[in-house]
Structure 1
Amino acid sequence: MGLNAPNSKYFCLYCNCQSELRWDMDQNFENSGNHACNVKGENRKPALFPAINQENYIPDELHLLLRIVDVLMECFFNDVIKKKEFEKKIKLEIEQAMQNIKVHFEFFKSRSTSGKWDWTSLMGPDKKRVLEHFPISQFISGTRGQEIEKLWKEFLRLYKVLRKPFLSDQEIDAFEIDAKQWIRTFYCATEGRPNSISHKPGLYRKQDVTPYMHVFAQHMHQFMRQLKMKNLSLRYFSTSSIERKNHDQVRLFFGGTTMGGGTEKKSEY
């Protein structure tokens, strides 16, 4: 679509937001297109399909779910992997907790990352099940664990709103406010001194906010309004059927796949 990589300075297809401001929810970035690459030395690449108007590019709600949940899970696992008892105790407990909610999940040491811990790549339905049912506070104690659990459930709630076939103007307005607040909660800083009454542990860093999160909070509500005017919704443009087809082809060709834990059961998005 004529843009540089997602880690470039001007990363967004829909606005001129700079990468170091992805977290900023106090600004409003309109769906006006990315013009900064053309004038600020970013060497914007030519569009692959110049005949298609940029206004007709709609973000895929499925990949918003998949990629944002990837970040949430990675942040959580990075917290627990640091603990001394991870390999002997916590690892097995997490795998059992996943099994309890009927999600096939395993940790393993990856050869491609010099023996660092990696984990099963989950598909859409399993990721939604994890967001809703995984007991985070069992592995991260105190207020921080509870806040992370709320963060996961709130993202799932917002995703379900985004997926609705029909939305009122009030629902879209509420989605805009709540999605931006969700980002603020994601990167909220630690408050107060440790072990004091006023101490409130933070969650993650501003730089952990990804381009997908930026699009989720800054642009999706605009697309929801545009589509509503045409009696359409985002779910009509989902690529879930294409992803399912790709998954089935990989499974049949290679006799298996790492998606969904590499199980033989059928998975649906």
Structure 2
Amino acid sequence: MEMKRILVGFHFWPVRSMQSWSYTPLMGGDKEKVLRDFNFDVIFSKERAILITRLWRDFHSLYMLMNDQKNDSTFFAAQARNWFNLFLTPHQGEPNTLSFKKGLYHPLNVTPYIHVLINHIPEFIELHQRFGFAAFSCAAVEKKTMTKYLSSLGKQ
């Protein structure tokens, strides 16, 4: 219902042959709408929704900064580090007690993309900002990898 509210077409459906679920991929502007506008209050407690909303909105801000040709690499580095610290918000208190507050993610959840965002994008901004980030897109490589994967499953 929330995806409908923000005007994003998104659906899940079962894939019986693989005993799993598939979903509509979010492309371009739809990703941005979800990062910017999704209301987490509809699925989480108020306190948890605030934390997750901040994580997504701050990531959206980083995304916008990456695409801003007037962006300062030092400012971006500080904002990226702040976002990363939020991403790694630890649990607080004793589990299964009323005082327990669930954190967000653990260091093991850090992906190569997050590593690049925190440790290399500020340098890319400093050195290559005039090219824009579209020049560094991994979309073509990811598409080729997915096509190869699907063909290995006999899906292509």
* Same fold flag (TM > 0.5): yes
Q: CA deviation at 1:99?
A: 1.2
- Percentage of pairs with the same residue: 31
Q: CA deviation at 1:213?
A: 0.7
In the alignment, which of 234, 237, 256 is matched to residue 132 of structure 2?
234
Secondary structure in 2 matching 1:151: helix
Question: Map of 1:19-168 to 2, 5 A cutoff?
Answer: 96-111=1-16, 113-114=18-19, 116-167=20-71
Query: What amino acid sits opposite 2:90 in the alignment?
Result: A
Contact preservation (8 Å) 1:165, 1:233: no
Q: CA deviation at 1:110?
A: 2.6
In structure 2, do the counterparts of structure 1 residues 112 and 219 end up closer, same or farther at CA, with 3 Å as the change threshold?
A: farther
Once the two structures are superposed, residues 25-67 of structure 1 have per-residue CA deviations (whole angstroms, 9 ceiling, x without a partner) of xxxxxxxxxxxxxxxxxxxxxxxxxxxxxxxxxxxxxxxxxxx
In structure 2, do the counterparts of structure 1 residues 217 and 150 end up closer, same or farther at CA, with 3 Å as the change threshold?
A: same
Q: CA deviation at 1:112?
A: 5.5
User: Larger helix proportion, structure 1 or 2?
Assistant: 2
Q: CA deviation at 1:106?
A: 0.7
Larger RCO, structure (CA 8 Å, separation 6 or more): 1
Q: CA deviation at 1:201?
A: 2.0
* TM, length-normalised to structure 1: 0.47
Q: CA deviation at 1:239?
A: 4.7
- 1:187 paired to 2:91: no
Residue number in structure 2 paired with 1:22 = none
Secondary structure in 1 matching 2:104: coil
Question: Map of 1:237-248 to 2, 5 A cutoff?
Answer: 237=135, 239=137
Distance 1:205 1:97 in 2: 27
Contact preservation (8 Å) 1:186, 1:203: yes
Secondary structure in 1 matching 2:22: strand
In the alignment, which of 204, 208, 217 is matched to residue 109 of structure 2?
208
Secondary structure in 2 matching 1:175: helix
Aligned residues: 139
Contact preservation (8 Å) 1:144, 1:203: no
For structure 1, list consecutive stretches of 5 or more residues without a partner in the other structure: 1-95, 247-269
In structure 2, do the counterparts of structure 1 residues 113 and 178 end up closer, same or farther at CA, with 3 Å as the change threshold?
A: farther
Contact preservation (8 Å) 1:166, 1:233: no
Distance 2:98 2:25 in 1: 37
Query: What amino acid sits opposite 2:118 in the alignment?
Result: A
- Which segments of structure 1 move beyond 4 Å, counting only runs of 4 or more? none
In structure 2, do the counterparts of structure 1 residues 110 and 204 end up closer, same or farther at CA, with 3 Å as the change threshold?
A: farther
Query: What amino acid sits opposite 1:208 in the alignment?
Result: N
